[in-house]
Amino acid sequence: MTDVSRLPGTAHHHWQWQLRAACRNLGPGRFYHPAGERGEEREDRDEAAKRVCAVCPVRTACLEHALRTREAFGVWGGLTEEERRALLEPASRRARTARVGAGHH
């Protein structure tokens, strides 16, 4: 689930990038897999979503939002949930290691 405590707030400028998103009027079906979707069907859907992201003028803002809020599902900024998790995991592991090494438990 998205960590809503990490959302930027209601100020219009925080969300304005979404108005320019290439996916804005495409609906969620291309970007979120249905329950039980696996294998080639899921890969094809993800690739179709990533093609939209590849030409999106706000791809970076979208990915930053997804990483900051820990979006748990869907393709955001050209990355699947698994790809985003892999980016975040090493950083969180390093932070835990640093805390343990500093004597914090």
pTM of the model: 0.73
Q: Give the pLDDT of residue 77.
A: 97
Residue 84 C-beta-side C-alpha neighbours within 13 Å: 22
Known binding residues for [4Fe-4S] cluster are: 23, 53, 56, 62
Express each pLDDT in 40-90 by its tens digit: 999 999 999 999 999 999 999 999 999 999 999 999 999 999 999 999 987
DSSP-derived 3-state class of residue 76: strand
Say if CB 22 and CB 57 are below 8 A apart: yes
CA pair distance 21, 25, nearest whole angstrom: 9
DSSP structure string for 36-73: T--HHHHHHHHHHHHHHHHT-TTHHHHHHHHHHHT--S
Look at the block and give the residue holding tokens 């003028």: 57
